[in-house]
Amino acid sequence: ASKCGYTCQEPVLDFCYLPSVCGSCKALFRRFFFNASSQQCEEFIYGGCGGNRNNFETEGECFQAC
């Protein structure tokens, strides 16, 4: 019998450190992103498509995730 060599670690939420991305579409959605420099969730305008996972509909969702 062999033993597994993996150890479990807390997942790192790397997407919380991505910059805010407005996306390539032209809509004007109010969204929130985690600003790693200020350690705060901040508002930005999202165009509706593209972007990354550092994009939350509410400030509360942002704080809960990051």
Percent of residues, the chain, with pLDDT higher than 90: 80
Show the 3-state SS of the chain. Answer: CCCCCCCCCCCCCHHHHCCCCCCCCCCCEEEEEEECCCCEEEEEEECCCCCCCCCECCHHHHHHHC
CATH class of 15-65: few secondary structures
Distance in angstroms (rounded) separating the CA atoms of residues 64 and 30: 18
Distance of CA 59 to the CA centre of its chain: 11
Amino acid 8: pLDDT: 54
Between 4 and 34, residue with greater pLDDT: 34
> Confidence class of residue 3 from pLDDT cuts 50, 70 and 90?
low
For the chain, the domains span: 15-65
Question: pLDDT digit string (tens) for 14-39?
Answer: 999 999 999 999 999 999 999 999 99
